[in-house]
Structure 1
Amino acid sequence: MAKKIFVGNYKGGVGKTTSVYQIGGWMAQEGKRVLLVDLDPQASLSRICTRNDVKGLEKLNYNETLNYAIELYSAYVETKLDRLKLLKKDFENMREYVKDIIKEVKVFKIKESAKFDYIPSTINFKNSRLNDLARKMTANLYNIFSIRFILNDLDCDENYDYIIFDCPPTSNMITHSVFLLSDYYIIPTICDDISADGVPDYIIEIESIYAKYSFNDEVGGLLLDIIVGNKPKLVGVFETIYKNRPGTKNWSKIEQIDKAISQTGVPALISKERNAKYRYSSGDPESINTTYIFKEKIRHLDNRSNDCGIPAKTESGSLHDEYRNISKAIMDILEDDEVNYDKK
């Protein structure tokens, strides 16, 4: 059963897409079968993944994109699906129509047993960008299950160890559907005053969305439990675009965010005692010991002219060593969670 993880933050420019690609790539390097799903209307992740593909993103046929799959399944939901069929799990399998949307990332070599694939989105179709489709999906609340149906028909749970969603900094029916189908979520952030409010707000929003659909008469209760299951677990928060601050200023920013998150009352896997070794601690007699923040941080290596920079590496589709340790920590925490507290 694939572990489904969304990576998100309502603050833009914090390295979400870069983090999705780099973490997924390092997981594949470790021999895991990884699928990336691009939910951002700008299709930035798709551009990175097609970097060494002769066809390229612009030349993809309509039926090779997530846009097409969402439009197809939305039409199915609106014309052929009702509550009785949902309760009976009586769904039509449309794999034949969407089998071409999964593509291989062809940038670097991985073990024979591993996979590094992606589902691209595109900006090439007028009135069918992902934000357009998300708006249309609101016509039928059962569209909240569309992406789950797509992944089920493609046997993604059986074919992958990890499915990672690159979520845009927006709240719409597509992102809500991914919040509901995911097992876990991770928040990359910049440590600043804005994030001290933004990160806990994002966590509260996820809790609210799950509650919203749980208590909705059309999809809530038994139906949501049958198709969706439990709400996603927060894995933890990690700092991107890290800039060294003199003295103890790093501590104060990190402590501010950590305390703000703790006030939400939402637990995180990294908060568990067995995961203490992955948490940030300043290592000083007057140190702070966080509950939600990874000790691994992504430095602000913004050189775009050579391979030392994270942007240059990512834009070429290559992996950067800066993400190696955080990727390993995430895998260790998730695999430990599966062993000890297997999710429904």
Structure 2
Amino acid sequence: MLHLKRRGFDLGCIQIPEKTAMPSSSQVQQAWQNDAAIVLPQLLRNDLEKYTENIKESHILMQNVLRTCDFVPFLEQTPYVERIQQNFFIVAASPEEHDEQGIEKVYFDAFDQDEDDVVAEELWCKASWLSFHDEDASLRFRFSWGMEGYEDVSADPLKQAWAGKLCDVLFPESHIITNNATILSHLSSILSKKPSFVERIVYFNAPNGGAQFHHDVERGHAGVVFAQLSGSTFWLALAKPKLMDEIISFVTNAKNQQAIASVLPQENDQQTLKTLCHNREDLSCHMEDPDHELVEALIDRCPEFIAHLVARGHSHILQAGDVLLLPQRDLDNCVWHSVFTLGDTPGEALSFAVR
């Protein structure tokens, strides 16, 4: 049995999902085309040994950022400064006081070694908390370019490529995804072209942390590759239509009314949720609303609903070396996913969007 706890909410004990075998290429393609998450178990086992020292360095960086709430001072030290100076230079740093989850954003320009010319500007890496909860020490390091919240993955492939190279420089273990022949083969077959890995995020999910149910749809993205490098995480993942099916099935079952009342104590909220479940279009629109509290209370804070999803086969456990592919076709069919940290120590993971 697994005991799930996230951001102060005790979400109960659930059965451990069965281990999966390595899927065939046809199974991977079929899963992606059917908007289903699929695990590639222990695909990275041999690669982890190659990048052991880099993963240790990254854990030390994470601990230093947690300890000091600073980021850029550590990039100006060995081993980072030597690697950065080969193709990048630090332009500025922002304490991100406008963002309660932001710790520090560091801006870079990239230059061509041969020509000594600047080839990409406004690149950045931002260190952030994953949540506002005091007992969740989870961090993420996100790489992109331009004005945050307005950047467009399709607008400037060159800057996105250099933002990816910056991720390689600060976290060389990123090559575990980008140079993996099996991942490249699967995605090339799915996309009918060689994939690009953009909008990269390096996660450190800590105990009591993880991500609430969400999707990663963005224009120009086909999906996400998630690689567990250390530690372990528990996932719930299913396409939006199936998640809606499960919500409707759970809410309309009279046996679950007490469980729903435990997370939505107001009767009018319970009734509104029931009403939403009688109209799929209304339910779908509510799920896309930034303030989707009625559904959020159910899918993120109700132990009985989480147990329901597990019983229906929508859960996965990722150990170090495992890869999870998450199709993100569009808002109507994307794979929604929720993450829980397992164990007593933070684990490192890579989450790269696929273009």
Q: TM-score w.r.t. structure 1 length?
A: 0.29
Write 1 or 2 for the structure with the bigger share of strand.
2
Query: 1 or 2, which has the higher helix percentage?
Result: 1
**Larger Rg, first or second structure (1 or 2):** 2
TM-score (structure 2 length as normaliser): 0.28
